[in-house]
Amino acid sequence: MTGWLERLLGRLPLGWLQLVHRPPRFAAALAGVAFANILVFMQLGFLGALIESIALPYRALEADILIAASDTNTLADSSPLPRQRMYEALAVPGVAAATPLFFAKLDWKQPDGTIRTLDVFGIDPARDSLAILRGNPAADALKRADHGLVDRRTRNPPPGLFAAIEAGEPYSFEAKNRTIHVAGTVEIGGGFAADGYLVVSDQTFLRLFPQRAAGAPNYILVRTEPGVPPARVVAALAAALPADDATPRTLADTVARDQRFQTTQRPVGMVFGFGIVIGALVGSIIVYQVLSSDVADHIREYATLKAVGYGDAFFLGVIVEEAAILACFGFVPGLLVALGLYAFVSASVALPLTMTFARAALLFAGTMSMCVLSGFVATRRLARADPAELF
Amino acid sequence: MASDGGGYPVEVAGLDHWFGQGEARKQALFDVDLRLAAGTLTVLAGPSGSGKTTVLTLIGALRAIQKGNIRLLGRELAGASADALVLRRREIGFIFQAHNLHDSLTAEQNVRLGLEVHGAAAASRGQAAARHMLDLLDLSSRAGYLPANLSGGQKQRVAIARALVGNPPVVLADEPTAALDRESGLNVVQLLKRLGTARGTTTLMVTHDPRILDLADRIVRMEDGRIVAEGRL
Ligand SMILES: Nc1ncnc2c1ncn2[C@@H]1O[C@H](COP(=O)(O)OP(=O)(O)OP(=O)(O)O)[C@@H](O)[C@H]1O
Ligand SMILES: [Mg+2]
């Protein structure tokens, strides 16, 4: 390492030698940087999982454009809108198909008495509403009353349940004083708010939620004619529909809006942002502490080197060298531990925590700049090294 | 950087110096004139507080000159900017009372620091030069030792190696033997004298040790900020 750094820097790697000369301090500094990295990685992981899990149910839809009530912020909080908008939409050029989607929440009581919250999609089984139903052998069962399909990625299901259902074993549960027969599974993926999803027909949906009206779905799913850009159809729909109760958006826009809303307006999203700031602060403060006490400890040596003719650039170089070493050597264990924690969290609470190269690269760059910045601040102490006081 | 032929590598003329501000302002040097001939070992002697260190730090470009002139290797130090002073220090080998070795570096690495200040070209032959210098000071077997594992005399010899490895035309030493026992102190100065003679180095050394006075080519005495006597042995 010393030889390699020496070739890299074209001088004695003084910063490196100084750091390794005090192993406890070096280890503490690395642990601090690694800890800050783990903290930020976990926050970014959860934030990424939140963003990803917001998108998952939208991806289950068979739609290019979503029409929703104008005050809708997220998938789950849309107020119903008149079904009339669906017929109006069908008359707009470029619209190939339109179908209503009902949405509500349902408690799924487990044999052990605990409750899973399910997001319920009520769809017209005669039409293509959900992409995930294509080629699903159980899709036909939705036409029967009180039959449904459950998301096989539902969090903490009864053990072996989904395997049994897929093997054809009958399973039913009670909800809202009705018996729901689970005819099969779909794959959607859990989010932060709900544990999983239940897909039923619009008829079953209205029986489960009698206060809901057939004429007032939550969404209208629109498919465009092949070759027509959805953005242009959105503009045409916006012109055709009354703006005060229905807003059309492309599916991608809807997802992005929902993600933006939940990460910036909801406490859950802001908590993660706050965690990232805390991590960055902790890391910077630890690095600053270590580098400035290292400067203080070597003040006589630095004064000697000043007397010999080394200029400020040299000392800055040494401290930046130390900062860069702390950044690199702290980042790697931080990354490794974070990878382990990601795998653990993904497996134990079914949240899709995935490490992306971009995230790792971003955090490395952030770590490096924080360390170097702390190093720059630490060099202020150098001014106290007065070579004239040495004699 | 060459010390122009038969001239004086160090010429001090009319040097005054004050410490402190306002009421507390106190004159430490009065009209000091001093010329050091090339290749000689001059000892600066005198009681405590007489201004010896002040003269040394001014010649060594460690302090800004307030009044008077110092020509170091033919070039004026007075009026030079702080950055320029830093560069001028590279022409000088400093030996301090305390060795001031870097505790994280081996003897050899410490010596290399004295060379690398001269830039990448010097750094590239750093290892060989440092080895050679340690060899001259009888320290080759200690090259890989950290200062903590060296005796006081060995540390001071490493500090001398660091000061001399860049082959400076001028060496300034302030009580280099103060931290050593008499035996190793004498040894160190003999080494310094031998290397200085061999390399044509001009050396100015502050010392109280009477036996070292015997090794000097010339002795300058200071009292109360003035040069009061000169002697050539
Ligand atoms: N940094 C300083 N601030 C204020 N006064 C100083 C400073 N350095 C030296 N002096 C004063 O200047 C005078 C000369 O000091 P100097 O250190 O040059 O003496 P010296 O001959 O080296 O003494 P010694 O033999 O004790 O080392 C003394 O009166 C001292 O108190
Ligand atoms: Mg002194």
Task: Report the candidate in B145, B150, B159 with the shortest Cα–Cα distance to residue A304.
Answer: B159
With respect to residue B81, please indicate whether it lies within any of the assigned structural domains.
no
Closest-CA residue of B relative to A7 is B124
B-contacting residues in A 52-91 (Cβ below 8 Å): none
CB of B54 within 6 A of ligand 1: the answer is yes
The arithmetic mean of pLDDT across residues B79-106, rounded, is 90
Whole-number pLDDT of residue B3: 41
Residue A182 buriedness (CB in 10 A; 0-12 / 13-18 / 19+): buried
Residue A390 pLDDT greater than 80, yes or no: no
**Which residues lie closer than 8 Å to B8 by C-beta, 6 or more apart?**
B35, B36, B37, B38, B71
Q: Which residues of A189-218 are buried (b: 16+ CB within 10 A; e: fewer)?
A: bbbebbbbbbbbbbbbbbbbbeebeeeebb
- CA dist A315 to A177, A311, B39, B106, B230, Å? 76, 7, 33, 19, 41
Structurally, how many domains does chain A consist of?
Answer: 2
Residue B147 pLDDT greater than 70, yes or no: yes
Q: pLDDT (tens digit, 9 = 90+) per residue, B10-64?
A: 999 999 999 988 888 999 999 999 999 999 999 999 999 999 999 999 999 999 9
Whole-number pLDDT of residue A191: 66
Token reading at A377: 């601040």
With respect to residue A197, please indicate whether it lies within any of the assigned structural domains.
yes
Lowest mean pLDDT among A7-11, B89-93, B129-133, B202-206: A7-11
- Does A388 lie at the interface with B, CB-CB under 8 angstroms? yes
Q: Are A61 and A90 in contact (CB under 8 A)?
A: no
**Which residues lie closer than 8 Å to A221 by C-beta, 6 or more apart?**
A61, A62, A63, A65, A66, A98, A99, A100, A101, A129
With respect to residue A120, please indicate whether it lies within any of the assigned structural domains.
yes
With respect to residue A67, please indicate whether it lies within any of the assigned structural domains.
no
The arithmetic mean of pLDDT across residues A130-141, rounded, is 85
Instruction: Give the structural domain span for A137.
Output: 82-244
CB of B17 within 6 A of ligand 1: the answer is no
- Under the banding of pLDDT at 50, 70 and 90, the label for residue B129 is confident
Q: pLDDT (tens digit, 9 = 90+) per residue, A353-364?
A: 889 999 999 999
Which residue is associated with the tokens 């060298």? Answer: A321
- Under the banding of pLDDT at 50, 70 and 90, the label for residue B100 is confident
Residue A333 pLDDT greater than 50, yes or no: yes
With respect to residue B187, please indicate whether it lies within any of the assigned structural domains.
no
Whole-angstrom distance, CA of residue B69 vs CA of residue B60: 13
With respect to residue B80, please indicate whether it lies within any of the assigned structural domains.
no
The arithmetic mean of pLDDT across residues A196-203, rounded, is 94
Q: What is the ipTM of this complex?
A: 0.86
Specify whether A98 is located in the same domain as A45. Answer: no
Residue B2 pLDDT greater than 50, yes or no: no
Distance of CA A147 to the CA centre of its chain: 33
Specify whether A233 is located in the same domain as A379. Answer: no
- Does A383 lie at the interface with B, CB-CB under 8 angstroms? no
Which ligand is the nearest neighbour of the Cα of B208?
1
Question: Would you call A307 and B174 a contact, using CB atoms and an 8 Å cutoff?
Answer: no
Pairing of strands B170-174, B10-19: unpaired
Specify whether A46 is located in the same domain as A154. Answer: no
Question: Would you call A301 and B102 a contact, using CB atoms and an 8 Å cutoff?
Answer: yes
With respect to residue A63, please indicate whether it lies within any of the assigned structural domains.
no
Q: pLDDT (tens digit, 9 = 90+) per residue, A144-168?
A: 999 999 998 888 888 888 888 888 8
Closest-CA residue of B relative to A298 is B102
Question: Would you call B53 and A18 a contact, using CB atoms and an 8 Å cutoff?
Answer: no
Whole-number pLDDT of residue B233: 47
- CA dist A12 to A244, A371, B44, B116, B119, Å? 71, 21, 35, 8, 12
Q: Which of B83, B94, B109 sits opposite A307 (nearest CB)?
A: B94
- What percentage of residues in chain B have a pLDDT greater than 90? 52
Atom of ligand 1 nearest to the CA of B26: 5
Lowest mean pLDDT among A229-233, A277-281, B207-211: B207-211
Say how many Å lie between the CA of residue B53 and the centre of ligand 1. Answer: 7
Q: What are B29's strand-pairing partners?
A: B17
With respect to residue A116, please indicate whether it lies within any of the assigned structural domains.
yes
Question: Would you call B56 and A309 a contact, using CB atoms and an 8 Å cutoff?
Answer: no
Specify whether A233 is located in the same domain as A272. Answer: no
Structurally, how many domains does chain B consist of?
Answer: 1
Specify whether A320 is located in the same domain as A222. Answer: no
Residue B124 pLDDT greater than 80, yes or no: no
Which chain B positions have a beta carbon within 8 Å of A305's beta carbon? Answer: 113, 117
Residue B202 pLDDT greater than 80, yes or no: yes
The arithmetic mean of pLDDT across residues A325-339, rounded, is 95
Chain B residues near any Cβ of chain A (below 8 Å): 53, 56-57, 60, 62-63, 83, 86-90, 92, 94, 96-98, 100-105, 109, 112-114, 116-117, 120, 123, 126, 146, 162, 174
- List CB-based neighbours of ion ligand 2 within 5 Å: B 53
With respect to residue A77, please indicate whether it lies within any of the assigned structural domains.
no
Q: pLDDT (tens digit, 9 = 90+) per residue, B106-116?
A: 999 999 998 88
Question: Would you call A21 and B104 a contact, using CB atoms and an 8 Å cutoff?
Answer: yes
Residue B232 pLDDT greater than 80, yes or no: no
Specify whether A196 is located in the same domain as A314. Answer: no
Q: pLDDT (tens digit, 9 = 90+) per residue, A306-317?
A: 998 898 889 999
Say how many Å lie between the CA of residue B3 and the centre of ligand 1. Answer: 30
Whole-number pLDDT of residue B213: 84
With respect to residue B189, please indicate whether it lies within any of the assigned structural domains.
no
How many CB atoms sit inside 10 A of residue A97's CB?
17
Q: H/E element holding A262?
A: helix A251-264
Q: Are A150 and A216 in contact (CB under 8 A)?
A: no
- Under the banding of pLDDT at 50, 70 and 90, the label for residue B208 is confident
Whole-number pLDDT of residue B1: 44
Residue A270 pLDDT greater than 90, yes or no: no
Specify whether A43 is located in the same domain as A123. Answer: no
Question: Would you call A390 and B96 a contact, using CB atoms and an 8 Å cutoff?
Answer: yes
Whole-angstrom distance, CA of residue A54 vs CA of residue B62: 66
- Does A313 lie at the interface with B, CB-CB under 8 angstroms? no
**Which residues lie closer than 8 Å to A234 by C-beta, 6 or more apart?**
A65, A248, A249, A250, A253
Of A244, A275, A302, the one marking the end of a domain is A244
CB of B28 within 6 A of ligand 1: the answer is yes
Whole-number pLDDT of residue A339: 95
Specify whether A176 is located in the same domain as A104. Answer: yes
Q: Are A181 and A376 in contact (CB under 8 A)?
A: no
Whole-angstrom distance, CA of residue A171 vs CA of residue A382: 74
Q: pLDDT (tens digit, 9 = 90+) per residue, A235-261?
A: 999 999 998 889 999 999 999 999 999
- Does A10 lie at the interface with B, CB-CB under 8 angstroms? yes
Residue B118 pLDDT greater than 90, yes or no: no
Task: Give the dihedral of Cα atoms A369, A373, A379, A380; nearest 10 deg.
Answer: 170
Specify whether A301 is located in the same domain as A380. Answer: yes
**Which residues lie closer than 8 Å to A187 by C-beta, 6 or more apart?**
A132, A151, A152, A153
Whole-angstrom distance, CA of residue A281 vs CA of residue B59: 46
- Under the banding of pLDDT at 50, 70 and 90, the label for residue B122 is low
Question: Would you call B102 and A10 a contact, using CB atoms and an 8 Å cutoff?
Answer: no
- CA dist A276 to A272, A273, A351, B48, B193, Å? 6, 5, 19, 59, 63
With respect to residue B25, please indicate whether it lies within any of the assigned structural domains.
no
Instruction: Give the structural domain span for B118.
Output: 101-167
For the question of whether the overall pTM of this predicted structure is more than 0.90, the answer is: no
With respect to residue B7, please indicate whether it lies within any of the assigned structural domains.
no
